[in-house]
Chains A and B, each alone.
Chain A
Amino acid sequence: MSERINSAWSPSSREIERRGARKRISRRQATIAAVSSLLVLGTLISITITSPGWAVVKKTFFDIGYGREVFPTVIAGLWINLQLTFIGGFCIGVIALCLALLRTTKSPALTPFRFLATAYVDIFRGAPLILIILLVGFGVPALQLKGIPSNVIFLGTVAVVLTYSAYVAEVIRSGILSIHPSQRAAARSLGLTSGQTMRYVVLPQAIRRVVPPLLNDFVSLLKDTGLVSILGVTDAVRAAQINASRTFNYTPYVVAAIMFLLITIPMTRYTDRAIRQRSNAQSAEGAI
């Protein structure tokens, strides 16, 4: 119930003085920032350009003509990465949620599954993704099981999903554990069963809380789909590799890197904003 600002108000002479001083200070700070940026960037660029190998590097990494030529194949490969990211991301979400719920349940009937979920998370969170991709990509076809496709894209996706499910499960679980026990007490004292409490009270709050770290994992997922190239999937990385090894010009790698950055930088900016909003909201609800 703050009072309306008086419309007849005009700043006092002291306030006008202060505004002038503030303006001078910020002008000086802007000058300092500009000078220091020019100095640092200028030094970096001049070191690069005057280095003895620059002429060669420029030709083999930054050949604009060749970059244009390979662009269509790299972008076609990137489409594979995006598909893997979205299809994989969906599967990861479902599996991770199940794992997180299993790990936090106290139901005695689910004890063996809780055990298995813990073991699963330990294994797939602890082993390097690239090893899992190699083991699944080459190991599963060797089993010669009927009905399981030996398509490398499929197997690569499975490997990525297996690993990321473990990461994401832990993120969701930490969200579940971060909900204050008083929320559970309130829900249970209303007669809600433990399952209903999880579904209607704990999980909605937990998921909201972990959206920023999940977005972070989503960015990593997009980058890590590039690793399935080691199975021979023609994604953006592999497409670049093929072109580079054909001509010994590495511009395709730079093209692929720029393509990834064009997608991941906006995503990380968005994630940062989500994290900031989340922490603002949390401080606003301090009374609860």
Chain B
Amino acid sequence: MADVLAISNVRKSFGSELVLNNLSLAVPEHTATVLIGASGSGKSTLLRCINLLESIDDGQIFLDGEEISDPLINVDEVRRKLGMVFQSFNLFPHKTVLENITLAPMKVQGKNKDKAITAALALLKRFDLADKADQYPDRLSGGQQQRVAIIRSLALNPRLLLLDEITSALDPVLVNEVLSIVRDLKSDGMTMVLATHEMGFATQVADEVCFLESGNILERGSAQDVLHAPKNPKTQEFLKRVHQAGRL
């Protein structure tokens, strides 16, 4: 299997603060890579760098073998191949659910309106949101909003889906309805990189789990190894704290 995403020796700092330190990662096709680690360990920054929302200070990022960290690359074209879902949903509040989903297919991919709407409605139906198509986002629950946000990025048929702590802003009851979508996508073979604090969920979907600390991957391996038999003392300590918080 070819790697969809390859990251080598990436470095990123904000001012004097080093956020990503010589980090490397490979994500093969149809696999899910889960990033875990405390807040501030660099998970979100890594995802934002992959999506070119942040520029890196050193190293290289490849998408399907093409270097996307090249400053001459067309960033809009790269982002078309990447889906990104945010912790705070970031739906467009002035557009209905349907308009949120069809905006990019129409304006970015140049799909005609009818086709875009048909595709969007099919996705909404698949994830039990068909009755919300004409609602505005602020009429939806957090879980529904996040599901719409996921559908919005799926509408572009991304090569790689980046999920940045997508359940952190939700209450425990709503978390599951969002995670079940991700499980569905995983079984469809979607390639994903996700940052999460839901360790149980990580165990279910992860092909590889990476533990980040101070901008570097301290431990990586199968969910079974990293989450249930961690070798690195820092991983052990992090998981112990997660466990105490009742999240494992």
Contact = CB atoms under 8 A, between A and B. Distances in A.
A187 to B, nearest CB: 8
Interface in B49-96: 51, 53, 75-77, 79-80, 82-84, 86, 88-94
Nearest to A199: B107
Contacts of A186: 84, 86, 90-92, 149
Contacts of B80: 191
A189 B138 contact: no
B104 A191 contact: yes
Interface residues of A, number: 21
Contacts of B53: 185, 188-189
A288 B76 contact: no
A192 B84 contact: no
A182 B90 contact: yes
A190 B137 contact: no
Contacts of B156: 190-191
Given A182-B86, A189-B51, A191-B108, A205 B152 contact: no
Contacts of A139: none
A184 to B, nearest CB: 9
Contacts of B93: 205, 285, 288
A233 to B, nearest CB: 41
A284 B90 contact: no
A183 interface: yes
A265 to B, nearest CB: 31
A185 B153 CA distance: 13
B242 interface: no
Interface string A192-218: 110010001100110010000000000
Interface string B37-55: 0000000000010010100
A287 interface: yes
Contact of B103 (A185, A190, A288): A190
A186 B85 CA distance: 8
Interface in B122-157: 137-138, 142, 145, 149, 152-153, 156
A189 B149 CA distance: 12
**Binding site of A, secondary structure by majority: helix, strand, loop or mixed?**
helix
Interface string A247-288: 000000000000000000000000000000000000011011
Contact of A288 (B75, B82, B91): B91
Interface centre among B51, B80, B93 (most CB of A within 10 A): B93
A183 B90 contact: yes
B51 to A, nearest CB: 5
Contacts of A193: 76
Contact of A191 (B79, B92, B138): B79
B126 to A, nearest CB: 20
Interface string A108-133: 00000000000000000000000000
Q: Top 8 nearest A-B pairs by Cβ distance?
A: A186-B90, A191-B80, A190-B104, A189-B84, A191-B108, A285-B138, A191-B79, A182-B90
Interface of B: 48, 51, 53, 75-77, 79-80, 82-84, 86, 88-94, 103-104, 107-108, 137-138, 142, 145, 149, 152-153, 156
Given A188-B76, A288-B89, 17 more contacts: A182-B86, A182-B90, A185-B53, A188-B53, A189-B51, A189-B53, A189-B79, A189-B83, A190-B156, A191-B76, A191-B108, A200-B103, A205-B92, A285-B138, A287-B142, A287-B145, A288-B137
